[in-house]
Amino acid sequence: MRQGRIIGRTVLFLLAAVFAIGFLMPTVLTVTNSFMTQSEIDANYGMIFESARPGGTTYVGDSVNLKFIPDRVSFSQYETVLFRSPEYLLKFWNSIRLVIPIVILQVGIASFAAYSFTRYQGKLKNVLFFFYIILMLMPYQVTVVPNFIVADWLGILNTRWAIIFPGAFAPFSVFLLTKFMRRIPASLIEAAKLDGANEWQVFTKICLPQCRSALYSIAILVFIDYWNMVELPIILLPDADTQPLSVYLATINAGEVGIAFAVAVIYMIPPLLLFLHGEEALVEGIMHSGSVKG
């Protein structure tokens, strides 16, 4: 029996290793290829982009060659992105200006809403929370047209506020944080009330500190979600100068493949650092948020 357990664990380990390698391969390929010269990229991926280029036969490659180690390490792609083409850094800054306000506003608004759903009882509260769940289950494509109409009516179309306002009131954070706040013992809040604490003090001194891991996990998930958004900026930000870097990566053309590798590596750094810094809080927040039924 012990031998069978060892074999089973070995098989599971090998399967996990295969899946891990499969998931990591595109990322590793992107990082290593960003240090290749443009001519080497042309030779390796000629067949993929041959039909997309003017003339159709610009590339010299006859087959696709997934290559992980460059023949010669080159920083020319990064030099182009960081020093010679400021439009890439401008789009990176556009992404920061869009995502950071959304994260701050959504976490703040969700905190107040979740506290209200947790503290106050009644049929109206249950109905509102039910509609929050329904909105959360809807695909975001359903709300694109209403967002466009409202943004046009408010006169904020083609400005970053057309993205920030809908993002600030997204229902997912309210749902997740409400489930977490309901884990706080009622006796703890009652003790604070007996000591003379008002609702604001209960909210700021009791609830928010208890929800630190949930707030961190929500911030990470919201950041990653809006950091990778593509469709909304294309529709609500028609001007290319106001669009984030994610739109550029989604519309890369065949002549800029090498630059796209370098831009993709730079673009991965902020969410990767955020995830590595708050990995434990992210796991704890998601795990505890679903442990109590609302």
The tokens for 202 are 């209960």
SS3 254: helix
Per run of 10 residues, the mean pLDDT along the chain (length 294 residues) is 76 88 84 81 65 48 66 81 80 90 93 87 78 78 84 88 90 86 84 84 86 87 89 86 83 70 88 82 64 41
Domain check: are 18 and 143 in the same one?
no
231 and 101 fall within a common domain: yes
Listed residue (93, 76, 90) closest to 41, CA to CA: 76
d(CA 285, CA 282): 5
DSSP 8-state assignment for residue 205 = I
CATH of the domain at 175: 1.10.3720.10
Overall domain count for the chain? 2
In this structure, the answer to whether residues 236 and 93 fall within a common structural domain is: yes
* pLDDT at res. 129: 80
- The pLDDT, as a whole number, for residue 22 is 84
Q: What is the rounded CA–CA span in Å between residue 33 and residue 78?
A: 12
Do residue 137 and residue 243 come from a single domain?
yes
Look at residue 105 in the predicted model and tell me its pLDDT: 94
Q: Which residues of 43-65 are buried (b: 16+ CB within 10 A; e: fewer)?
A: bbbbeebbeeeeeeeebebeeee
pLDDT at 34: 83
Structure confidence at residue 106 (pLDDT): 93
Which residues constitute the domain of residue 28? 2-62
Token pair of 73 as six digits: 């390490």
